[in-house]
Amino acid sequence: MHPRLFVTLTAPSFGPVHRAGDCHPARRRHCQHGGRHGCGLTHSGDEPLIGQPLCADCYDYPGHVLWNATAPALWKAFRDNLYHHVAARAGVGRSKVRTLVRVSAAKVTEYQKRGAIHFHAVVRLDGPDGPASPPPSWATGDLLLETVHSAATAVALPCPDSAAYSGGRLRFGTQLDAHPLTGGDSGRLTDDAVAAYVAKYTSKSVEAAGAVDRRIESLAEIRALRVTAHVRALIATAWRLGGLPELQHLRLRAWAHMLGYRGHCLTKTRAYSTTYGQLRAARADHARALAGARDLYADWDSETVTESAWRFAGTGHTPAEALIAAGIAEDLAANRQAMREEQR
């Protein structure tokens, strides 16, 4: 039995956003911009308001974009921590642990409605020779669960240094989710479900007609985009930060349309033999999707290969809604511009 978890790692809060179900309770207090603290409404899951900030001026746009830009490094830190934390729990050295157990994973990257990156991953413990070898008896599901929690909580990277923005440490959000994956009909997520999910995801990623499906070339282009005010603010923030010499290494202008995230939504290693094309075909062929399940795991010690075939698809506006949203965005952008000019 190889302990397996389906893990979701999210971003922290950059400011309250409208959420499905009972939104933030209404409060009497107002923020310094005159916005209400809280909302008090109940939203259905498909309302375009979901993911939009309660107050755009309170929202930490630079922090959000820099988090997206740093997300791959946060994932890598989590991944490295896993081995260290398994070693600590097993009471063995960090180099010794890799001769006893292997930590394998496949992950996909998604955007939440608010435009923040989150990761879904399948994490598994194998024996020293990979999937074919049983893990040592101490490498239990409980140990993996504790390890995933402590490894994610321990991640804290310095915010990229900039005169324009001083953020604290970049961490994962506190909403860490980890479910055991079991085979058979236990009602839990199974490998098959994960395979189907990944197949659906990759297929959707290619087919989706994104609101922002290409690189941004100018600020004027950002103003003309048919996206929500929130997405426009994120793209504009990425563009603005991308112009700062100290942040050149993040290539934020090149990745502004991805809200700062550098483009790779499915990470696999060479051992992960299923290609994107095969996964897409698998969506139409459940049997092949199941076959893909065997290839979901990847050994992190191998060289990582990434593929990019995904664009941020906006938040599902109809054209009419998008036009309205764009109108609001124009006002917002104009307000911000006026504020900036006053401050000069």
> Can you give the binding site for Zn ion, defined by CB under 5 A?
18, 23, 31, 33, 35, 39, 41, 55, 57-58
Taking the complex as a whole, the smallest distance from the CB of residue 45 to Zn ion amounts, in Å, to 13
Number of H helices and E strands in the chain, helices first, is: 9, 10
Amino acid at 57: D
CA distance 235 to 62: 10
Strand partners, 9: 119
Burial of 44 (0-12, 13-18, 19+ CB in 10 A): exposed
Nearest to 302 by CA among 97, 93, 106, 117: 106
Nearer to Zn ion, 43 or 98 (CB): 43
Taking the complex as a whole, the smallest distance from the CB of residue 47 to Zn ion amounts, in Å, to 8
Taking the complex as a whole, the smallest distance from the CB of residue 339 to Zn ion amounts, in Å, to 13
How many whole angstroms from its chain centre is CA 128? 30
CA distance 219 to 242: 12
Nearer to Zn ion, 25 or 245 (CB): 25
Taking the complex as a whole, the smallest distance from the CB of residue 36 to Zn ion amounts, in Å, to 9
Nearer to Zn ion, 307 or 321 (CB): 321
Nearer to Zn ion, 33 or 179 (CB): 33
Nearer to Zn ion, 54 or 121 (CB): 54
* Strand-strand pairing, 117-126 and 102-111: antiparallel
Nearer to Zn ion, 303 or 342 (CB): 342
Taking the complex as a whole, the smallest distance from the CB of residue 62 to Zn ion amounts, in Å, to 15
Nearer to Zn ion, 33 or 204 (CB): 33
DSSP state of 38: -
Nearer to Zn ion, 60 or 80 (CB): 60
How many C-beta atoms lie closer than 10 Å to residue 268's C-beta? 25
- What's the half-sphere exposure (Cβ side, CA atoms, 13 Å) at 183? 6
Nearer to Zn ion, 55 or 313 (CB): 55
The encoded tokens of residue 343 equal 């401050």
Taking the complex as a whole, the smallest distance from the CB of residue 23 to Zn ion amounts, in Å, to 3
> Contacts for 239-248 with beta carbons within 8 Å, 24 or more apart?
241/62, 241/65, 241/66, 241/162, 241/164, 241/165, 244/162, 244/163, 244/164, 246/160, 246/161, 246/162, 246/163, 247/160, 247/162
Taking the complex as a whole, the smallest distance from the CB of residue 312 to Zn ion amounts, in Å, to 22
Taking the complex as a whole, the smallest distance from the CB of residue 248 to Zn ion amounts, in Å, to 31
CA distance 116 to 234: 10
Taking the complex as a whole, the smallest distance from the CB of residue 11 to Zn ion amounts, in Å, to 19
CA distance 101 to 283: 33
